[in-house]
Structure 1
């Protein structure tokens, strides 16, 4: 291996590590607030990437139809609570974001898929199709069982993953897609030309991780959200709405996942089930931080990306096994310093 090859592998590792850092960030965020180990995070990557790919190729993405279906289910589920509480004003708000917005987006989807629409506008439209799915999934699946144990929530997450994977196959098909690069151009550093998209991904990752770390560690509201993961009953007693916190958290997770998919779809082909492996590598990164630390998860993601990149050169058939085997020593290392506590302690 000469210096040029090492720098090319370094570029690939840094780019992949930044994507894994974004996903690790989303996983840490969801777990901190809701105690959910969100296995389906990778499906948001797939939906975001394929939605943009369909729009860029003049096709209406299946997420436009899926969003309407989820919105109808949310409205049906909310009827009974609204009837009992006589809070029809709140139900009108639900109708606006869960039904009216998806219908408007579905009507605008053929226009957004037009050849005259700029790529940046298609990115925004694809985000608008995918991001509302986060709070919808939380309302339909996780909110009714918000008091369940972490193990039960994990099992539910696995079931949601398989359901979303099947829906991805139904609405997008088995064909792989790519998207145009969001940032064009190259930057020459030594003997290797780095793409401008690599630096855009790195800058976005640093901004998101830094912002969320400051929010959860330095602000009163951020600490209040973290309290919902420690003791949900105590959080409600002091006036913290765990349901609102959960909905906002899943909204952010969906946005981070969809944006990550759009960033990585320009350099790799995305299939309906590609997000699962990408999400698992983000989970490995989150394990570095014990599902609670953003900076350590980011460092772990960078290490995972570099390990994967150099493993693909030295032992390509075993690169996935090498990355996922990394979980074992990390868990052993963290177990030595951990103290078992019941969830309500």
Structure 2
């Protein structure tokens, strides 16, 4: 391996590590507040750019999709409508949710009949965004005080459901989306896609934004209180349910924007979300699912290991990355005290 190859692998490590860092930040945020491992975070990431395909002119997308409302809009509106039915005891909230469902369908109809590229970009994010908080309300909140294992089983079920719906909504194809910043910028001997700089900037913004949100804002401190002690937070007047909505909402927004920025680099398809989310989960595990800085460092480690493995043993690169979990989990099991099983 010479210095040129090492430079290209380093660039791939930084790009992939940044992708996994965004997902790891979302996973750590949700787990810290709700104890839910958000397995379908990858599906939420690819849903946004795949929805955006329906808003592109046929000359750009290459597909005659104009005038067709994407399936994610029907899914998002339907979940909001069910949420409204469950909260019918609070008429004002139910009315807002029904209005949101109609607004989602209206935005999808508007985007499907031709809008500027920048507006379609925003509409795709707004259409997919309600799926996250609605998932918490419909599937996780009814299982109050459940174990982490129960939440994990629900999350895995949601992953399979969303992945299957993705195949129905978008088909098996990969789609090429236009870049916001086309072209490349050479750094040394390595050409870097200009679109990647937007991904780096968004990752930095998320890290600084989450730090400021949790340390400076009152609502962020309330979320931290729910993460530390849900019962104590409830006694102090902090609603764990509201904290769950906010954490799922922030995580979904991070995933949607990240997916839109990454789409020109990865050519999204319905099946790509699971592997991306799983590698983000590995990065989060390296940080113990509690530390944002350690999760980012873990993401860079995962990206570097994947880049090295793709060069030395490309057929086993995913297996090598996931094998990183074994020593970490073994080390953590040695550090954790034994707890007798409760009847």
Matched, 1:91 2:94: yes
Residue of structure 2 in register with 1:7 after alignment: 7
Q: How does 1:32-47 map to 2 (within 5 A)?
A: 32-47=32-47
Structure 1 stretches of 4+ moved >4 Å: 217-220, 339-342
The CA distance in 2 between the partners of 1:153 and 1:302, in whole Å, is 28
Cα shift readout 1:123-149 (whole Å, capped 9, x = no counterpart) = 111101111111111111111113211
Query: Is the 1:64–1:109 Cα contact (8 Å) retained in structure 2?
Result: no
Cα shift readout 1:273-317 (whole Å, capped 9, x = no counterpart) = 210000000000000110010011001101111111121111100
Cα shift readout 1:239-260 (whole Å, capped 9, x = no counterpart) = 0011111111111111111122
Cα shift readout 1:5-51 (whole Å, capped 9, x = no counterpart) = 22222212211110100000000000111110111111101201211
Equivalent pairs counted in the alignment come to 331
Distance 1:291 1:340, change over 3 A: farther
The CA distance in 1 between the partners of 2:107 and 2:117, in whole Å, is 17
Q: How does 1:1-345 map to 2 (within 5 A)?
A: 1-56=1-56, 57=61, 59=65, 60=68, 61-79=70-88, 82=89, 87-97=90-100, 99-111=101-113, 114=114, 117-217=115-215, 219-339=217-337
Higher mean Cα deviation, 201-210 or 319-328?
Answer: 201-210
TM-score by length of 2: 0.90
Distance 1:118 1:12, change over 3 A: farther
Structure 1 residues not aligned, in runs of 5+: none
Structure 2 residues not aligned, in runs of 5+: none
The CA distance in 1 between the partners of 2:17 and 2:300, in whole Å, is 4
Query: Is the 2:22–2:203 Cα contact (8 Å) retained in structure 1?
Result: yes
Query: Is the 1:285–1:297 Cα contact (8 Å) retained in structure 2?
Result: yes
Q: How much does 1:267 deviate?
A: 1.8
Query: Is the 2:87–2:93 Cα contact (8 Å) retained in structure 1?
Result: no
Query: Is the 1:40–1:160 Cα contact (8 Å) retained in structure 2?
Result: yes
The CA distance in 1 between the partners of 2:144 and 2:4, in whole Å, is 51
The CA distance in 1 between the partners of 2:296 and 2:289, in whole Å, is 11
Query: Is the 1:228–1:235 Cα contact (8 Å) retained in structure 2?
Result: yes
- Measured on the aligned residues, the alpha-carbon RMSD in Å equals 1.9
Q: How much does 1:220 deviate?
A: 4.5
Cα shift readout 1:67-118 (whole Å, capped 9, x = no counterpart) = 2222222222222xx1xxxx32232222222x2322322331323xx3xx43
Higher mean Cα deviation, 186-195 or 28-37?
Answer: 186-195
Q: How much does 1:210 deviate?
A: 2.1
Aligned residue for 2:265, secondary structure, equals coil
Q: How much does 1:218 deviate?
A: 5.1
The CA distance in 1 between the partners of 2:9 and 2:52, in whole Å, is 27
The CA distance in 1 between the partners of 2:122 and 2:217, in whole Å, is 29
TM-score by length of 1: 0.90
